[in-house]
């Protein structure tokens, strides 16, 4: 089972919306850090103290970061990394293993943070610290007016670097990871190794549109679950059932019928159609006659 897919924009967005719907307005009666490696800033003791007694007044997302907003003005920032799970109990079943944090709410419910990989990290920031923390991140693709096809071309269109690693760079565009970049490049008919400066204006438009479409579809399907990702109620996402190339090595391309290939691009496992996504940028685009 594939476990190494980090929650990306659609998964974190799903959890954020769940918190807004089900947890905002609740008061935290107690906060207990069960795995001290969770807290990067400030100390564990200060982390617990600043959460206890606070009301959760909002939730937001920046790139792949989940932000829980408190009435004190502090924000708790979580990086779910590979295996972080937020579970609201009840209705979710109370987890017993791999717990990192428990928030006991005044209404009798609890929020458990579980991570069998142990990689999830958390920090508490003041508004000024939060702004500084996120200052280097690129624009949000679904909400920022700055994010356009023209932005992409201006930002990286003159670079000789490969397109896939550039789109994974959170300083260029926020929230995209390995799953969605493979899917969007397939939709755009662009090979992941294509140099950014080789893309035409029309191809930048295709990449831009594919980014928006794939992220929106991922949110609509409540995220992609291969193994570890769960929403706040412990449910799987369903977007894995709609992927066209990711983890589909050896299967028929849904567009042309050629077998999906797995390669390594920028150190990452990469899935693509060698006919639809020509590395030389030729325009055959999967219209090969199958023999």
Catalytic residue among 7, 10, 139, 141: 7
Q: Which pLDDT score is estimated for 60?
A: 98
Q: In 216-230, which positions are buried (b, 16+ CB within 10 angstroms) versus exposed (e)?
A: eebbebbbbbbebbb
pLDDT bin (cut points 50, 70, 90) of residue 1 is very low
pLDDT > 50? residue 291: no
Average pLDDT, the chain: 95
At 281, the pLDDT band (50, 70, 90 cuts) reads confident
Catalytic residue among 62, 64, 164, 244: 64
Q: Which of 8, 140, 203, 206 is catalytic?
A: 8
Q: How far apart are CA 211 and CA 10, in angstroms?
A: 12
Looking at the chain, the whole-number percentage of residues with pLDDT higher than 90 is: 93
Query: Per-residue confidence at 261, pLDDT binned at 50, 70, 90?
Result: very high
Instruction: Name the residue among 50, 59, 44 with its Cα closest to residue 30.
Output: 50
Marked catalytic residue, from 50, 235, 268, 278: 268
pTM score, two decimals? Answer: 0.94
* Structural tokens at position 251: 């299967």
Interval 28-56: pLDDT, tens: 999 999 999 999 999 999 999 999 999 99
- The angle subtended at Cα 165 by Cα 208 and Cα 141, nearest 5°, is 30
* Whether residue 8 lies in the annotated active site: yes
29 included as an active-site residue: no
pLDDT score at 6? 80
Alpha helix segments (H runs only) across the chain: 9-22, 44-51, 127-133, 149-156, 163-168, 178-188, 201-220
**For residue range 211-237, what is the model confidence (pLDDT) as tens digits?**
999 999 999 999 999 999 999 999 999
pLDDT of residue 142: 98
β-sheet bridge partners, residue 101 = 33, 113
pLDDT for 4 equals 57
- Give the three-state DSSP class for 20: helix
Identify the pLDDT of residue 283.
58
Between 65 and 287, the more confident residue is: 65
Tens-digit pLDDT profile for residues 127-160: 999 999 999 999 999 999 999 999 999 999 999 9
- pLDDT grade, residue 286 (50/70/90)? very low
Question: Mean pLDDT across the stretch 188-204?
Answer: 97
pLDDT value at 288 more than 70: no
pLDDT of residue 282: 76
Domains and CATH numbers, the chain: 9-133 (3.20.190.10), 149-272 (1.10.8.50)
Instruction: Report whether pLDDT(78) > 70.
Output: yes
**Is 7 one of the annotated active-site residues of the chain?**
yes
């Amino acid at each position: 089972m594939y476990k190494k897919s980090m929650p990306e924009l659609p998964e974190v967005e799903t959890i954020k919306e769940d918190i807004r719907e089900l947890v905002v307005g609740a008061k935290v009666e107690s906060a207990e850090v069960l795995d001290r490696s969770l807290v990067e800033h400030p100390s564990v003791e200060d982390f617990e103290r600043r959460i206890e007694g606070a009301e959760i007044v909002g939730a937001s997302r920046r790139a792949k970061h989940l932000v829980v907003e408190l009435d004190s003005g502090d924000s708790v920032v979580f990086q779910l990394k590979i295996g972080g799970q937020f579970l609201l109990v009840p209705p979710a079943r109370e987890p017993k293993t791999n717990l990192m944090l428990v928030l006991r709410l005044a209404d009798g419910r609890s929020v458990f943070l579980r991570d069998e990989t142990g990689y999830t990290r958390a920090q508490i920031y003041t508004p000024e610290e939060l702004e500084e923390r996120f200052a280097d991140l690129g624009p949000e693709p679904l909400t920022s007016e700055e994010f356009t096809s023209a932005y992409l071309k201006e930002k990286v269109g003159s670079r000789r670097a490969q397109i896939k690693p550039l789109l994974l760079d959170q300083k260029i565009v926020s929230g995209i990871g390995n799953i969605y970049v493979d899917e969007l490049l397939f939709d755009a008919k662009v090979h992941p190794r294509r140099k950014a400066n080789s893309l035409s204006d029309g191809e930048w438009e295709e990449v831009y549109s594919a980014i928006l479409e794939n992220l929106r579809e991922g949110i609509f399907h409540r995220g992609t679950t291969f193994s570890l990702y769960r929403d706040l109620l412990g449910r799987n996402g369903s977007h894995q059932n709609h992927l066209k190339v990711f983890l589909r090595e050896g299967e028929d391309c849904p567009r042309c019928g050629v077998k999906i290939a797995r390669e390594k691009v920028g150190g990452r496992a990469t899935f693509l159609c060698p006919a639809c996504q020509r590395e030389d940028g030729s325009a055959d685009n999967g219209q090969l006659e199958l023999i």
